[in-house]
Amino acid sequence: MSRVRAKRDFLTLSSLAPTGTPDALLALIDRAMAWKAARGQGGAGRPLAGKSVALIFEKSSTRTRVAFEIAVFELGGHAVFLASSGSQLGRGEPLEDTARVLSGYCHAIVVRTFGQDRAETLARWATAPVINGLTDLHHPCQLVADLMTVRERRGVLRGLRYAWIGDGNNMASSWIEAAGLLGLELVLACPAGYPPDAAVLAAARARIAERGCGRIEVVARPEDAAAGADVISTDVWASRGQEEEAAARRRAFAGYRVDAALLRGAAAEAVVLHCLPAHRDEEIAAEILDHPDSAVWAQAENRLHTHKAILEWALDAG
């Protein structure tokens, strides 16, 4: 008797490694690099041929939407975009109902939304795999691209010192989760009142304790996080939905800009990452973002290749 394969939701990085081993995450990065190489040679394979993917976006997007739409197309599938304003979700249809209906039409669902609970509810009721394109707590798709970019630039992931500068937001959560899974050394510099999620931090530290390698530290001074760092990552100070807090956040985050002065304390040729969109000369200096050696634009492009790998994994289509 054939066994029924468990549905593969990708809600956090831990979805790839429920047992705590990093092999699936590393394999996903390898696969994304293979897709990138294949695209440079004219493409290879259409594992999503005849399959459709729903893209539910309750938050606006450039990179996530375009990268997923093109990834689905180049893999041979068809993407269906649904914004809240143009679907029944905008009129209050329960996620449970949307999940069941879309599962009858589509082979996978990508959701970009607010609370992590919304992505989890969608996954609970959908029979199709659900991929987290961003929530307020996690941004796993972005982190796969970030890790791929580090691999391209430095050749390895382990043995490097990572720094996060800024808000303890969804990107910080996913970096923390990556550190726990891979046993990385990560130092986060967050202003008072803007710490990373306590539960995410505790879970990652528990994994590090079990593995016996890696370290996660939260500090107040950006200089302490950046000291000797091989990889420095940051994000905007006020994300979408936080516009009313922008003035207060600018005051709280003063001194948390990634610029030449901060990089003087980092390792030589440190890789600087930003998930975009960026506010030039606010959280990152324009001269760093636009430098010829900037990794940010390769990081953005890598969203396409990692999205292909994630879709392939979720649909078990490799």
CATH value at residue 38: 3.40.50.1370
**Could you list the residue range(s) of the whole structural domain that residue 161 is in?**
142-299
Q: What is the pLDDT of residue 1?
A: 38
Q: Could you give the number of structural domains in the chain?
A: 2
158 and 295 fall within a common domain: yes
CB 22 within 8 A of CB 182: yes
- Tell me: the pLDDT tens digits for 118-141? 999 999 999 999 999 999 999 999
Quote the CA–CA distance of 148 and 33 in Å, as a whole number: 7
176 and 295 fall within a common domain: yes
36 and 47 fall within a common domain: yes
Residue 7 within any structural domain of the chain: no
150 and 19 fall within a common domain: no
**Would you say residue 5 has pLDDT above 90?**
no
- Alpha-carbon Rg for the chain, nearest whole angstrom, is 19
Q: What is the layout of strands, in order, in the sheet containing 271-274?
A: 215-219, 185-189, 161-165, 231-234, 271-274
163 and 283 fall within a common domain: yes
The tokens describing 203, both together, are 């879970």
205 and 261 fall within a common domain: yes
293 and 146 fall within a common domain: yes
| Catalytic residue list contains 211 | no
Q: Is the peptide bond before 222 cis (omega within 30 degrees of 0)?
A: no
Residue 6 within any structural domain of the chain: no
Residue 5 within any structural domain of the chain: no
| Catalytic residue list contains 112 | yes
Long-range contacts formed by 281-285: CB under 8 A, 24+ apart: 281/257, 282/236, 282/237, 282/250, 282/257, 283/165, 283/166, 283/234, 283/235, 283/236, 283/237, 283/253, 283/256, 283/257, 283/258, 284/234, 284/257, 284/258, 284/259, 285/257, 285/258, 285/259, 285/260
Please name the helix (run of DSSP H) or strand (run of DSSP E) that holds residue 134, with its range, or none. Answer: strand 130-134
Residue 100 within any structural domain of the chain: yes
- Tell me: the pLDDT tens digits for 215-248? 999 999 999 999 999 999 999 998 766 667 888 9
46 and 150 fall within a common domain: no
Instruction: Give percent of the chain with pLDDT exceeding 70.
Output: 96
Q: What is the pLDDT of residue 19?
A: 66
* pTM for the whole structure: 0.95
Catalytic residue among 136, 167, 275, 305: 275
Residue 215 within any structural domain of the chain: yes
CB atoms < 10 A from the CB of 206, how many? Answer: 12
| Catalytic residue list contains 264 | no
Residue 8 within any structural domain of the chain: no
Q: What is the pLDDT of residue 318?
A: 64
82 and 146 fall within a common domain: no
Residue 129: CA atoms inside 13 Å, Cβ hemisphere, count? Answer: 25
156 and 295 fall within a common domain: yes
CB 181 within 8 A of CB 22: yes
Catalytic residue among 235, 274, 299, 305: 235
Residue 174 within any structural domain of the chain: yes
| Catalytic residue list contains 31 | no
122 and 147 fall within a common domain: no
| Catalytic residue list contains 275 | yes
Catalytic residue among 31, 116, 141, 142: 142
The tokens describing 207, both together, are 């994994």
Residue 3 within any structural domain of the chain: no
Rounded to an integer, the average pLDDT of 110-124 is: 97
| Catalytic residue list contains 106 | no
126 and 232 fall within a common domain: no
Quote the CA–CA distance of 250 and 262 in Å, as a whole number: 18
Looking at every residue in the chain, the average pLDDT score rounds to 94
Residue 200's Cβ-count burial label (10 Å; 0-12, 13-18, 19+) is buried
